[in-house]
């Protein structure tokens, strides 16, 4: 049964093509988006140079070296004037002057990049648990807090191809007359859908990581997650790479749960276009309209977001709280509740199969 | 032809769950306005001496009392009120009745109203004179180098901005939020794409298309479908945008619907010379047109693709691509912006300030260029749809 379903969806309904087309679009988006952000006005080379020299734990020696460097940076203009004056009066040799010039040149041309590094360093030195990492690169990798719309599309189109479109050709009627057609076949479709959805999501995360590695030189996979300003309050004890993998897994789980949610929608609305619209809206509306974080984490698509769960205990203060909110500290409760709701959705999808046939 | 049009309209509206989605999106839209922009329906409460009160309605009362033509008498009264409030704030006594329990608020509100009134009655002297003066310099420069285009542009600026003046105080700045609100336009487009997907692909799925093509009313049917779709988008647009205006009015209570559009502080350089209500109708109509043209493109997809959900899927991707395209502002892609219906969808940006394009040496207002480009886009889509629709292969 599984083989037949695979063949039906992927080959006969051209889902394989759609899958790869959406992956290609995802790749293009990663490259284009990242490119735009990288040109946000700071010198990438200078920044990365500093990061590569000083990466890792902050030691006394490093701190002293950095202080000297920052002093150079702040007084670069004055130092250059002094250097010229000394050179004119013959106090320093031409070679020394050349050396001073080149060093100062480094600082002055890469000023923006070094200032960005300085901010990250200030954040990192505030706590012993933090290390110096390539913050810009990692923040870019982690800053997709929204549900990935292409992934959403891939899931909805799968649901429609595999399950909902048959209502329109009255094949679903035929299906229900067979002994395995009602429950077993439906559940096979559902399992296949969840695996495909999770697979798509994981491949997307891997693609993003690949694009990031190609753009930035990242060597510090093992640094603790707290080293990023994004995760200031996190209680997650793992490393950067561990954090990324955890988020990728959460997103994959979210995609699978979303697939189950689409199957429920497919049971409710038998028309495929309606399922498309309803699925799209169920992701877009909580995300762009009801931006209150607490409602969002309780909705069926919360897991698709991923990153937010590792933010840690952020106390949300709202003057006028809506009546159906969960609690004030979104951090600790959000993950278990979202997982629970996702599990509930999957259970519903498996258990409640539409009894009567879809006659148009 | 009339009956055909009515039938097509009925078919559009009778689509499964369409009414449900319209109501859902309308509800979400209004809820969103209430959630994010409300100041008066459930205002923030303050407490003093055991009583709670809200500041914004009291500010509203103050605005109402001083609304209308700006006169010296009103300004004098406001200044006296502000001074009295300051006196009470500093601990002295005063007979002047205060609007709010906090004298500091009265002081601030009176000061804000005075500043706003001053901005309004000096609009001609500060803004317009500055614009015309700078324009004069540019014009003489252009004449010196014999740049015909810049000369014409300077003349156009002169014609647009000369003679403007403002003389009344109303709560017009609240309108800025109303005009820059975009979510309802997005919902309109989604609904448009949803219904356009069924126009021809629905017939194919039902098997009606070959039958329809045999009838002598082929062309009339096509015209009827397009007209029905346009009416549908227009009606839903009217529903959404008037509900918007009503909800914004309830939440923010702007006043001065018949003031000139450039009275709004954020739009003081605007090229529109009409009153605010007309401006809202105009921008809403342009948004409806934008949604309609996107729908035309989806109609083209609808004749090409065999299934309705393919059409919807590609339609949404197309809309997303069009929105992405409108973000490019330079190079070859810049010229494509005028053919992009999304430019009409965000219609207020066309009127915010003086924007022209150079077409064969003549400065053309951007709204005219965008309108023309979009009409071209729409007619190309419709022509393409018609050509594909009428070819002999009757099936798919």
Q: Do A277 and B312 touch (CB under 8 A)?
A: yes
Smallest Cβ distance to B194: which of A149, A277, A319? A277
Smallest Cβ distance to A168: which of B31, B205, B320? B205
Which structure tokens are listed for A284?
């877009």
CA distance A315 to chain B (A): 21
Q: Do B313 and A285 touch (CB under 8 A)?
A: no
Give a three-class secondary structure readout of chain B: CHHHHHHHHHHHHCCCCHHHHHHHHHHHHHHHHHHHHCCCCCCCEEEECCEEEEHHHHHHHHHHHCCEECCHHHHHHHHHHHHHHHHHHCCCCCCCCCCCCCHHHHHHHHHHHHHHHHHHHCHHHHHHHHHHHHHHHHHHHHHHHCCHHHHHHHHHHHHHHCCCCCCEECCCCCHHHHHCCCHHHHHHHHHHHHHHHHHHHHHHHHCHHHHHHHCCCHHHHHHHHHHHHHHHHHHHHHHHHHHHHHHHHHHHCCCCCCCEHHHCHHHCCCCCCCEHHHHHHHHHHHHHHHHHHHHHHHHHHHHHCCCHHHHHHHHHHHHHHHHHHCCCCCHHHHHHHHHCHHHHHCCHHHHCCCCEEEECCEEEEHHHHHHHHHHHHHHHHHHHHHHHHCCCCCCC
Chain A residue with the nearest C-alpha to that of B19: A274
Question: Contact, B188 vs B233, CB < 8 A?
Answer: yes
Residues of B in contact with A319 (CB under 8 A): 44
Q: Do A160 and B32 touch (CB under 8 A)?
A: no
CA distance B36 to chain A (A): 9
B234-256: pLDDT as tens digits:
999 999 999 999 999 988 888 88
Q: Do A274 and B16 touch (CB under 8 A)?
A: yes
Q: Do A271 and B17 touch (CB under 8 A)?
A: yes
Residue A41 pLDDT: 61
Q: Do A276 and B190 touch (CB under 8 A)?
A: no
Cβ neighbours of residue A112 closer than 8 Å, sequence gap 6 or more:
A41, A42, A43, A46
Question: Contact, B288 vs B189, CB < 8 A?
Answer: no
For the question of whether the overall pTM of this predicted structure is more than 0.80, the answer is yes
Of the candidates A253, A23, A287, A333, the one whose C-alpha atom is nearest the C-alpha of residue A147 is A287
Q: Do A276 and B42 touch (CB under 8 A)?
A: no
Residue with the bigger pLDDT between A126 and B283: it is B283
Residue B380 pLDDT > 80:
yes
Residues of A in contact with B17 (CB under 8 A): 269, 271, 274
Which structure tokens are listed for A129?
């648990």
Question: Contact, B53 vs B59, CB < 8 A?
Answer: no
Most confident of A200-209, B60-69, B81-90, B289-298: B289-298
Angle of the B218-252 helix axis to the B276-304 helix axis, nearest 10: 140
Residue A316 pLDDT: 41
Q: Do B309 and A165 touch (CB under 8 A)?
A: yes
Smallest Cβ distance to B183: which of A168, A289, A292? A289
Q: Region B15-28: what's the mean pLDDT? A: 89
Residue B169 phi, psi (nearest 5): -105, 125
pLDDT band of B366, cuts 50, 70, 90: confident
Residue A112 pLDDT: 74
ipTM exceeding cut-off 0.85 for this assembly: no
pLDDT band of A311, cuts 50, 70, 90: low
Q: Do B205 and A160 touch (CB under 8 A)?
A: no
Most confident of A51-60, B263-272, B341-350, B372-381: B372-381
CA distance B339 to chain A (A): 23
Of the candidates A200, A231, A198, the one whose C-alpha atom is nearest the C-alpha of residue A342 is A198
A206-230: pLDDT as tens digits:
888 888 787 776 777 777 767 776 6
| Percentage with pLDDT > 70 across chain B | 96
A6-36: pLDDT as tens digits:
888 787 777 888 888 888 888 877 776 655 4
B307-347: pLDDT as tens digits:
888 899 889 988 888 887 776 655 555 667 778 888 888 88
Q: Region A307-322: what's the mean pLDDT? A: 44
Query: Residue A93: which H helix or E strand, with range?
Result: none
Cβ neighbours of residue B235 closer than 8 Å, sequence gap 6 or more:
none
Residue A330 pLDDT: 47
Of A218-232, A245-259, B225-239, the poorest mean pLDDT is in A218-232
B34-71 core/surface letters (b: 16 or more CB in 10 A; e: else) = eeebbbbeebeeeeeeeeeebbeebbbebbeebbeebe
The conformation of residue A13, written as its DSSP 8-state character, comes to: T
Residues of B in contact with A273 (CB under 8 A): 194, 197-198, 308-309, 311-312
Collapsing DSSP to helix, strand or coil, A321 comes out as coil
Query: Residue A149: which H helix or E strand, with range?
Result: helix A149-159
Residues of A near B (CB-CB distance < 8 A)? 149, 153, 157, 160, 165, 168, 269, 271-277, 280-281, 285, 288-290, 292, 319-320
A151-185: pLDDT as tens digits:
888 888 888 888 888 877 778 778 778 887 778 88
Q: Do B17 and A319 touch (CB under 8 A)?
A: no
Q: Region B128-135: what's the mean pLDDT? A: 86
Residues of A in contact with B38 (CB under 8 A): none
* Candidates A18, A35, A277, partner chain B, best to mutate (most B CBs within 10 A): A277
pLDDT band of A306, cuts 50, 70, 90: low
CB-based burial label for B355 (10 Å; 0-12, 13-18, 19+): middle
Query: Residue A90: which H helix or E strand, with range?
Result: none
CA distance B190 to chain A (A): 8
The CA distance from A258 to A299, in Å, is 11
Q: Region A319-337: what's the mean pLDDT? A: 47
Q: Do A289 and B32 touch (CB under 8 A)?
A: yes
Cβ neighbours of residue B314 closer than 8 Å, sequence gap 6 or more:
B301, B305
């Amino acid at each position: 049964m599984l083989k037949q379903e695979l063949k039906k969806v992927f080959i006969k309904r051209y889902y394989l093509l759609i899958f790869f087309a959406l992956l290609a679009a995802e790749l293009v988006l990663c490259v284009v988006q990242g490119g735009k952000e990288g040109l946000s006005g700071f010198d990438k080379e200078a920044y990365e140079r500093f990061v590569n020299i000083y990466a890792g734990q902050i030691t006394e020696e490093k701190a002293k070296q950095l202080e000297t460097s920052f002093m150079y940076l702040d007084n670069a203009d004055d130092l250059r004037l002094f250097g010229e004056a000394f050179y004119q009066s013959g106090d320093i040799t031409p070679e020394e002057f050349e050396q001073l010039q080149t060093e100062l040149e480094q600082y002055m041309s890469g000023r923006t990049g070094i200032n960005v590094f300085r901010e990250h360093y200030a954040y990192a030195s505030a706590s012993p648990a933090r290390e110096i990492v390539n913050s810009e690169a990692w923040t870019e990798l982690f800053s997709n807090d929204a549900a990935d719309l292409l992934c959403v599309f891939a899931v909805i189109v799968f649901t429609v191809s595999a399950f909902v479109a048959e209502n329109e050709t009255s094949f679903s009627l035929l299906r229900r007359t067979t002994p395995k057609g009602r429950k077993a076949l439906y559940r096979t479709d559902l399992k296949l859908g969840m695996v495909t959805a999770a697979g798509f999501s994981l491949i997307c995360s891997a693609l993003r990581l690949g694009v990031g590695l190609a753009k930035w030189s990242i060597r510090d996979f093992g640094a603790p997650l707290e080293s990023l300003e994004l995760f200031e309050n996190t209680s997650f004890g793992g490393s950067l790479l561990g954090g990324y993998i955890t988020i990728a897994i959460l997103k994959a789980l979210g995609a699978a749960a979303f697939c189950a949610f689409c199957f429920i929608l497919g049971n409710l609305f038998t028309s495929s276009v309606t399922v498309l619209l309803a699925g799209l809206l169920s992701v877009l509306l909580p995300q762009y309209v009801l931006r209150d974080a607490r409602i969002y984490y309780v909705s069926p698509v919360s897991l698709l977001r991923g990153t937010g769960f590792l933010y840690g205990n952020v106390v949300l203060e709202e003057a006028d709280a809506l009546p159906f909110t969960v609690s004030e500290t979104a951090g600790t409760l959000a993950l278990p509740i979202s997982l629970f709701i996702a599990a509930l959705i999957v259970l519903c999808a498996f258990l409640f199969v539409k009894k009567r046939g879809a006659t148009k | 032809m009339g009956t055909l049009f009515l039938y097509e309209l009925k078919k559009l509206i009778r689509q499964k769950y369409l009414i449900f989605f319209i109501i859902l999106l309308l509800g979400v839209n209004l809820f969103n306005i209430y959630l994010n922009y409300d100041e008066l329906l459930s205002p923030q409460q303050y407490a003093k001496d055991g009583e709670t009160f809200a500041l914004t309605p009291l500010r509203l009362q103050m605005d109402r009392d001083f609304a209308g033509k700006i006169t010296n008498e009103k300004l004098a009264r406001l200044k006296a009120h502000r001074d009295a409030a300051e006196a009470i704030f500093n601990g002295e006594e005063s007979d002047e009745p205060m609007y709010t329990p906090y004298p500091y608020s009265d002081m601030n509100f009176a000061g804000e109203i005075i500043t706003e009134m001053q901005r309004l009655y000096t609009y001609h002297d500060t803004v317009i004179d500055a614009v015309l003066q700078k324009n004069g310099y540019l014009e003489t420069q252009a004449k010196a180098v014999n740049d015909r285009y810049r000369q014409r542009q300077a003349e156009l600026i002169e014609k647009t901005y000369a003679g403007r003046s403002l003389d009344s105080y109303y709560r017009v700045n609240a309108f800025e939020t109303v005009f820059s609100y975009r979510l309802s336009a997005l919902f309109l487009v989604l609904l448009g794409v949803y219904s356009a997907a069924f126009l021809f692909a629905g017939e194919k799925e039902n098997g009606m298309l070959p039958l329809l093509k045999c009838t002598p009313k082929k062309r009339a049917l096509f015209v009827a479908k397009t007209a029905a779709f346009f009416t549908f988008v227009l009606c839903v647009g009217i529903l959404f945008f008037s509900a918007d205006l009503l909800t914004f009015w309830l939440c923010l209570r702007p006043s001065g619907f018949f003031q000139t559009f450039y009275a709004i502080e954020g739009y003081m350089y605007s090229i529109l010379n009409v009153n605010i209500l007309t401006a809202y109708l105009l921008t809403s109509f342009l948004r409806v047109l934008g949604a309609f043209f996107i729908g035309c493109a989806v109609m083209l997809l609808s004749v090409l693709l065999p299934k309705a959900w393919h059409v919807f899927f590609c339609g949404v991707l197309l809309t997303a691509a069009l929105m992405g395209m409108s973000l490019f502002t330079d190079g070859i892609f810049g010229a494509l912006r005028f053919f992009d219906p999304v430019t009409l969808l965000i219609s207020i940006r066309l009127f915010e300030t003086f924007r022209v394009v150079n077409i064969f040496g003549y400065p053309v207002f951007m709204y005219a260029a965008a309108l023309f480009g979009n009409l071209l886009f729409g007619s190309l889509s419709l022509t393409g749809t018609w050509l594909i629709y009428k070819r002999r292969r009757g099936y798919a």
